[in-house]
């Protein structure tokens, strides 16, 4: 089985009748590097939450690493996140006052590994992102780009099946942003499956696959090398807002 994510006709409607997603189909294969791109309000954040199992869809099915999310309890869902998914956030979310190594080790806290092993693996992950010499620095002693690399190390330390990066360069200057994107490319080359959620088309176009979202629907699914292929077969029936309720 090489499919990591499989979304089938996923819809998400918030209380009050706002439809954030309207029937999204999405497959992510192992070792893919893709961008989920769209303007703000397009529903890409909701898609991130649903793929990351932080939220459940109101309709449709979500399968992550072979597990049907709808059937899982909070405990099992948490275990799924601990083992199979890593998150990178726009604003890093590092724990202040704690060394880079301990911040990364926090990524394994809920995996059941003993503390010594967590710290050892954290040191490895930091080497992997090129911060071996910043092991004992605290977040306020690091630059923005370094912070994001610590956050990436925390996300990959558990060897997740899927790495979700939400606007990873949003809070960085362009030089650090490029370095972070380069790191993601490298990790992908080493075998990681990575989805980058962004509103920036420039970043998206540099990635092998782009899934374009607009108004809660996939409007295009482009792969580098092959011709533009319309992923929006579903857009035939009434995509306009204001219909329905």
Catalog residues that contact other proteins under the rule CB under 8 A.
1, 45, 49, 52, 54-55, 65-67, 72, 74-76, 78-83, 85, 87, 89, 91, 93, 95-98, 106-107, 109-112, 114-115, 154, 161
The residues with which 191 forms a beta bridge, in sequence order, are none
Measured in whole angstroms, the distance separating CA 221 from the mean position of its chain's CA atoms is: 17
Report the nearest approach of other proteins to the CB of residue 12 (Å). Answer: 11
Instruction: Let me know: does 171 contact 92? Beta carbons within 8 Å.
Output: yes
Number of helices and strands (H, E) in the chain? 7, 10
CB closer to other proteins, 161 vs 215 = 161
Concatenating the DSSP letter of every residue in 15-27 gives TTTEEEEEEEEEE
Report the nearest approach of other proteins to the CB of residue 80 (Å). Answer: 5
Report the nearest approach of other proteins to the CB of residue 47 (Å). Answer: 12
CB closer to other proteins, 93 vs 229 = 93
Report the nearest approach of other proteins to the CB of residue 233 (Å). Answer: 27
Report the nearest approach of other proteins to the CB of residue 110 (Å). Answer: 4
Give the C-alpha distances (Å, rounded to integers) separating 174 from 178, 203, 225.
6, 11, 26
Q: How far apart are CA 77 and CA 68, in angstroms?
A: 10
CB closer to other proteins, 47 vs 222 = 47
Report the nearest approach of other proteins to the CB of residue 96 (Å). Answer: 6
Concatenating the DSSP letter of every residue in 74-128 gives HHHHHHHHHHHEEEE-TT--PPTTS-HHHHHHGGGGGGT--HHHHHHHHHHHHHH
Nearest to 4 by CA among 182, 186, 180, 188: 188
Measured in whole angstroms, the distance separating CA 230 from the mean position of its chain's CA atoms is: 23
CB closer to other proteins, 111 vs 201 = 111
Report the nearest approach of other proteins to the CB of residue 10 (Å). Answer: 15
CB closer to other proteins, 46 vs 210 = 46
CB closer to other proteins, 28 vs 87 = 87
CB closer to other proteins, 154 vs 212 = 154
- Sequence-distant (6+) residues with CB within 8 A of 214 are 38, 39, 42
């Amino acid at each position: 089985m090489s499919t990591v994510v499989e979304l089938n006709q996923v819809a998400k409607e918030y209380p009050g009748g706002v439809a954030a997603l309207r029937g999204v189909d999405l497959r992510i294969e192992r070792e893919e590097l893709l961008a989920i791109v769209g303007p703000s309000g397009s529903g890409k954040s909701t898609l991130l939450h649903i793929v990351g199992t932080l939220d459940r869809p109101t309709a449709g099915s979500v399968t992550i690493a072979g597990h049907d999310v709808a059937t899982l309890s909070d405990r099992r869902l948490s275990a799924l996140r601990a083992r199979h998914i890593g998150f990178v956030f726009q604003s890093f979310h590092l724990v202040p006052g704690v060394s880079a190594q301990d911040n990364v080790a926090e990524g394994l806290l809920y995996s059941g590994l003993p503390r010594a092993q967590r710290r050892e693996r954290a040191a490895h992950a930091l080497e992997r992102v090129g911060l071996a010499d910043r092991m004992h620095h605290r977040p306020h002693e690091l630059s923005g780009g370094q912070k994001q690399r610590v956050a990436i190390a925390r996300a990959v330390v558990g060897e997740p099946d899927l790495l979700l990066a939400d606007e990873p360069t949003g809070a960085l200057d362009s030089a650090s942003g490029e370095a972070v994107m380069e790191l993601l490319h490298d990790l992908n080359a080493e075998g990681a499956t990575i989805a980058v959620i962004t509103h920036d088309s420039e970043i998206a176009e540099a990635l092998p696959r782009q899934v374009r979202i607009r108004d809660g629907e996939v409007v295009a699914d482009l792969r580098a090398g092959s011709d533009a292929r319309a992923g929006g077969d579903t857009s035939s029936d009434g995509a306009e807002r204001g219909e329905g309720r």
